[in-house]
Amino acid sequence: MRNLWKVGALGAVFGAVLSVGGCSDFDAAYENCQGEGRCGPQASGDGGADAGDAGDGGDVTPPPCGDGGVDYPDLTGFDNDCDGIDGVADAGYFVHPTDGRDDGNDGTRERPFQTLARALREIRDGGTGRNIVYLGTGTYNEAAPAVDMPVSLYGGYTWRGNQFWDRFKDGGGTTFFDGGTLAFTVRDTTDAEVVLDSLHIASANAPNAGEPSIAVRVIRASAVRFSNTIVEAGQGGRGTEGADGDGGSAGHDGGTGENATGPTPGYRGSSGAAPTCAFSTANAGGNGGTGKAGSAGTPGEVGAPNTPGGRAGVVGQKVDAGNNISTCVGGAGADGDAGVAGAPGDAGTAGSGMGVIDPVQVTWQMLAQQMGSAGAAGKPGAGGGGGGSGGACAEDIHPSQIGAAGGGGGGGSGGCGGQQGTGGGGGGASIAVLLLQADVTVSNDSKLTTHGGGNGGAGTQGGAGGEGGLGGSPGLRSDLRVDAGSNESYFTYGGFSGRGGNGGSGGQGGPGGGGAGGPSIGVWCLLDAGVTVDESSSVSPGNGGEGGASTGNRGSTGTQAPTFDCRTTP
């Protein structure tokens, strides 16, 4: 059965120009041109000499043509009505991206406009009733063209520089719309059809972090048809990289115990003061024990939060060493315990999800969940315990003759935890066609593709924990000779005092989570939008963006799907 191609909005225009109906027997025309060797490329020969520039008149040899029947633009590129183009010349406006002029030209085939925007303005304001645009091959660097009326755009035309416009000649070139990250929009055409035929529309790779690349938006349009058209979205922008966490501040050293002087004991070494930490309260060391004379020593104090101090030295006892020599030595105080290291911070959560379409701005937006979260700061190290002071003799002798113990060393304070690494940002979306309250048909070997979602940004390392402060040294003991009133030699010694414990190092800051990869979607629909794809056409999105790296939690891979949330017809 032969296909009757009904052109919708075109029918009225062609009818007005030709006073004929709105349908054409396409199969019959195609069979005829094949049999006669006339099918596109425009003809089996070269159609005459190459086209010249716009100013030299070009080749004036008429192209092969048909029998004067109705001539809708079709994929054969054949001029059926012998007016010099595939299509009806007087039914539309002509545009050429390099040789046309917006100022001074009237959009006829001999004097084409340079931009699609100028042709659309003429359709809107000119009052001619024409709603077709014949687009020459070449690159159109127009910023986000917007179609907001029922029109038909036909590409693939090569202008000879005169009244003749060949279509698909010798393979032809492409009618290429090289847009920015938002390349092309069709909107607010709810009561008529819009045709995009033999075009190549591409959006740029997104240069900014997390930015989307969207080739075509169709907004509140009841019937848009892609025919023999390539729609190509660039890659979404890469997510931002996290920032490494700063290292934690080091702990302060414990104070040195005071030396004993004669019978006077040494004062305790002070605790290492707690440093100022960015995200937590640091732990001070314990004070050392103060030296004693004539009694047991003093234990070192506990380092924060619970590091034991050194025990005190016991009372010394007189010992006969023989040969009329006696000694009395106080017991040694113990070193304070070292503080334990702080625990590392938890890793940040990974970014996930695919973002949303903002129904007001009609563009893709990232959600907070696509960004990796920061890790947690490392915990501070514990303070070291203070050193215990040594003991002294407690014999019944004059206090001035008793050797004393020095002060115990103070415990070092704990180091601060390292600061957290921050999370990576999510990658931007890559969307070939975005639909909002719209219906689209993809036909005649059209191809919708994307270059893939942007990769998620890496979550970064947390900072190293600060070193714990060193424990303070103990003070020196003293020794004295006792006047025993006999031939006996009697010496008293204070006990050795303990060293303060070192403070624990702060914990490593937690790494940030990796950002989610951006989604890569062929057709993304919103608010009851639908798409129909015929068997000759394809929707082939590239990969979703890779999740951002992290030594903790890597970001999720971006979603890849031909369609999302659409009413679809195979």
Q: 328 with 385, same domain?
A: yes
Question: For 176-215, what is each residue's pLDDT tens digit?
Answer: 999 899 999 999 998 889 999 999 999 999 999 999 999 9
Q: Does residue 445 belong to any structural domain of this protein?
A: yes
Q: 121 with 146, same domain?
A: yes
Q: 522 with 547, same domain?
A: yes
Share the mean pLDDT of the chain: 89
Cβ(526)–Cβ(363) below 8 Å: no
Q: Is the predicted pLDDT of residue 222 greater than 50, yes or no?
A: yes
Residues 6+ apart with CB under 8 A from 235: 205, 206, 213, 430, 450, 451, 452, 453, 454, 542
Q: 510 with 529, same domain?
A: no
- Strand-strand pairing, 520-526 and 560-564: parallel
According to the per-residue pLDDT averaged within each range, which of 53-62, 162-171, 187-196 is highest? 187-196
Q: Does residue 190 belong to any structural domain of this protein?
A: yes
Any alpha helices (H) in 36-160, and if so which ranges? 116-125
Cβ(393)–Cβ(402) below 8 Å: yes
Q: Does residue 476 belong to any structural domain of this protein?
A: yes
| Phi, psi values for residue 191, rounded to 5° | -120, 10
How many Cβ atoms sit within 10 Å of the Cβ of residue 401?
18
* Residue 76 banded pLDDT, cuts 50, 70, 90: confident
- The reported pLDDT for the residue numbered 250 is 98
Q: Is the predicted pLDDT of residue 454 greater than 80, yes or no?
A: yes
Q: Is the predicted pLDDT of residue 311 greater than 50, yes or no?
A: yes
Rounded average pLDDT over 19-46: 37
- The reported pLDDT for the residue numbered 568 is 74
Tokens of 454: 């942007």
Q: DSSP code of 171?
A: G
Q: Does residue 560 belong to any structural domain of this protein?
A: yes
Tokens of 264: 């006077």
- The reported pLDDT for the residue numbered 75 is 86
How many Cβ atoms sit within 10 Å of the Cβ of residue 149?
15
- The reported pLDDT for the residue numbered 486 is 67
Q: Does residue 120 belong to any structural domain of this protein?
A: yes
Q: Does residue 136 belong to any structural domain of this protein?
A: yes
> In Å, what is the CA distance from 253 to each residue of 247, 378, 382, 386, 474?
18, 21, 13, 11, 13
Q: What is the CATH number of the domain that holds 123?
A: 3.30.1910
Q: Is 335 left (phi over 0), alpha (psi -120 to 50) or beta?
A: beta
Q: 486 with 556, same domain?
A: no
Q: What pTM did the predictor assign?
A: 0.81
Q: 267 with 310, same domain?
A: yes
How many Cβ atoms sit within 10 Å of the Cβ of residue 398?
11
Question: For 107-121, what is each residue's pLDDT tens digit?
Answer: 999 999 999 999 999
**How many domains are there within the chain?**
3
> In Å, what is the CA distance from 302 to each residue of 287, 337, 465?
8, 9, 22
Q: 336 with 193, same domain?
A: no
Last residue of a domain, one of 120, 139, 169: 169
Q: 303 with 281, same domain?
A: yes
Q: 219 with 125, same domain?
A: no
Q: Is the predicted pLDDT of residue 395 greater than 90, yes or no?
A: no
* R_g of the chain, CA atoms, integer Å: 44
Q: 308 with 412, same domain?
A: yes
Q: Does residue 258 belong to any structural domain of this protein?
A: yes
Q: Does residue 395 belong to any structural domain of this protein?
A: yes
Q: 230 with 334, same domain?
A: no
Count CA atoms within 13 Å of residue 164 on its CB side: 23
Last residue of a domain, one of 110, 143, 169: 169
Q: Is the predicted pLDDT of residue 548 greater than 60, yes or no?
A: yes
- The reported pLDDT for the residue numbered 4 is 30
Q: Is the predicted pLDDT of residue 457 greater than 60, yes or no?
A: yes
Last residue of a domain, one of 139, 169, 199: 169
Judged by average pLDDT, the poorest of 61-75, 177-191, 361-375 is: 61-75
Q: 300 with 413, same domain?
A: yes
Q: Is the predicted pLDDT of residue 286 greater than 90, yes or no?
A: yes
Stronger pLDDT, 333 or 43, i.e. the higher one:
333
Q: Is the predicted pLDDT of residue 22 greater than 70, yes or no?
A: no
Quick one: which of 339, 345, 319 has its CA closest to 460? 345
Write out the residue range of the structural domain in which residue 219 sits: 180-239+427-458+518-565
